Amino acid sequence: MPHSIPPFSRRTAWPAIPNRLALAVEAAKAAGARILDLSESNPTRCGLGYDEKAILDAFSNPAILTYAPEPSGLMVAREAVAAYYGERGTCVGAGDIVLTSSTSEAYSFLFRLLCDPGDEVLAPAPSYPLFEFLADLDDVNLAPYRLAYHDGWEIDFDSLNSALGPRTRAIVVVHPNNPTGSYVKEWEARQLGELCAERGLALVSDEVFLDYAHGGSAAARSLATDSAVPTFALSGLSKISALPQMKAAWMVASGPKDAKAAALKRLEIIADTFLSVSTPTQLALPRLLEQRRTMVPRLLDRIKRNLQALDSALSGHPTLRRLRIEGGWYAVLRVPATRCDEDVAVEVLDKQHVLLHPGHFYDFPRDGYLVLSLITPEEVFSEGVQRGLKALAGC
């Protein structure tokens, strides 16, 4: 008998049902509700105001008419990235940089570089929800290690040590982490370095939010050169210049000389297989990266105002609390764990048409956590927070 469905891989057997919160959003929209979206993470939808002329002019270059690919990226783009690190006091050579179309793609290149099918990568929890999909797609097992909260988030090294196994190949850190807003502290970086050196592991440092240190927090250093171990620091225009649509990111290889050279050679072949970053984007990258000079301060100002609005609204709700953050685009609320976070988020949406993310999207260890995006337009944020907290207090 002929098969009507092709034999799909097990790795793509994702649940076909949308989550309950997504269904509730669809239902509210269908009923004509105006939703106050406090989960908005797309900066191009946040009314930030871009320098349109500068961005469009960046692509007005006759050189985009010629295709002369360089697998790791055109030198002019890699030099601009190296200069960005230089300005932050981190010495990086353009030859140590590999361009990719997104940080996600950089992860995929690294998983293929470091892991055979079934090998393991350790990643923080709570953290960025896409890790699981990225790992699955490259047949890598993701083993979570916990971040613990004691008046600020830190790596739970007991949990990290017990997650290590014979097939562990790398440890991922998110610096600062999404959504906890916690940077990797100096002592944590030292301890991670020792552990990786001892076990022969690579360190992958996701630094897409590195520049978003909040007022009072010291500007954080990239882990790009902190390396007696092979280290790969990832970042890109998506957050640095608030231009996710440009699809331009990179990784910086550092660490022991021979290991770094061998890694870069292999990465060059992986990159050559795809040649995924378009020539126009690469040629525009130096000017697009310049956009950070206005976009980072603008976003930090937005974040500061939204945090003030949140804290002032929280002062009227003693059962709700904001956890400490040092940087990034998100805030985490601690709420009474009377029900599962998804139920709470659905109720807030149904009652007040305010969209918050439940903690379980990010793999918090238990119920009682909700996540808000601090880059949301200010008027939406303050109204959403007032209404959302009212609903939460009654949950």
Ligand X SMILES: Cc1ncc(COP(=O)(O)O)c(C=O)c1O
Among 102, 168, 281, 376, binds ligand X (CB under 6 A): 102
Quick check: 206 binds ligand X (CB under 6 A)? Answer: yes
Instruction: Please identify which residue in 208, 233, 264, 333 interacts with ligand X, judged by CB under 6 A.
Output: 208
Size of the site for ligand X (CB under 6 A): 13
Please identify, using beta-carbon distances, which residue of 134 and 195 lies nearer to ligand X: 134
By beta-carbon proximity to ligand X, the closer residue of 208 and 389 is 208
In the complex, minimum distance from the CB of residue 248 to ligand X, in angstroms, rounded to a whole number: 8
* Binding of residue 222 to ligand X (CB under 6 A): no
Q: How far is the CB of 174 from ligand X (least distance, A)?
A: 5
Q: What are 198's two structure tokens?
A: 């001892």
Least Cα distance to 105 among 283, 279, 234 occurs for 234
Least distance (Å) between residue 129 CB and ligand X: 9
Q: Binding to ligand X by residue 281, rule CB under 6 A? A: no
Q: CA neighbours within 13 Å on the CB side: how many for 53?
A: 0
Task: Single out the residue of 239, 347, 372 nearest to residue 296, CA to CA.
Answer: 239
Q: 329 and 303 in contact (C-beta within 8 Å)?
A: yes
Which residue number, 249 or 370, has a Cβ lying nearer to ligand X?
A: 249
SS3 category, 270: helix
Task: Report in angstroms the alpha-carbon separations of 376 from 46, 353, 373, 380, 384.
Answer: 6, 15, 6, 7, 10
Instruction: Note whether 40 binds ligand X by CB under 6 A.
Output: no
Do the bridges between strand 120-125 and strand 369-373 make them parallel or antiparallel, or are there none, so unpaired?
Answer: unpaired
Among residues 73, 144, 236, 358, the one that binds ligand X under rule CB under 6 A: 236
Residue position matching structure tokens 């301060």 = 297
Residues 139-198 contacting ligand X, CB under 6 A:
174, 178
Q: Which helix (H) or strand (E) holds 205?
A: strand 202-206
Nearer to ligand X, 249 or 320 (CB): 249
Does 104 bind ligand X (CB under 6 A)? Our answer is yes
Minimum distance of ligand X from residue 243's CB (angstroms): 10
State the nearest-atom distance from the C-beta of 299 to ligand X, in Å: 13
What does the alpha-carbon distance between residue 264 and residue 249 come to, in Å, rounded to a whole number? 16
Q: x/- string (CB under 6 A) for ligand X, residues 241-270?
A: ---x----x---------------------
DSSP annotation string for 145-184: EEEEESSSEEE-HHHHHHH--TTEEEEEEESSPTTT-PPP
CA 166 – CA 147 distance, rounded (Å)? 22
128 counts as binding ligand X under rule CB under 6 A:
yes
DSSP state of 242: S
The residue range among 88-96, 98-106, 269-277, 299-307 that interacts with ligand X, by the rule CB under 6 A, is 98-106
Residue 328 tokens, joined: 């990034």
Residue 238 or 241 with smaller CB distance to ligand X: 238
Nearest distance in Å: CB 377, ligand X: 18
Using the rule CB under 6 A, give the single segment among 29-37, 99-107, 279-287, 305-313 that binds ligand X. 99-107
The CB-of-317 to ligand X minimum distance in angstroms stands at 28
> Where do runs of H (alpha helix) occur along the chain?
20-30, 52-57, 75-87, 103-114, 130-137, 157-163, 186-199, 237-240, 257-274, 279-290, 292-314, 341-352, 378-393
Task: Write down the least CB distance from residue 253 to ligand X, Å.
Answer: 17
Choose between 143 and 389: whose C-beta lies nearer to ligand X.
143
User: Per rule CB under 6 A, is residue 77 in the interface with ligand X?
Assistant: no
Q: Please report, as ranges, the residues that interact with ligand X according to CB under 6 A.
A: 41, 102-104, 128, 174, 178, 206, 208, 236, 238, 244, 249
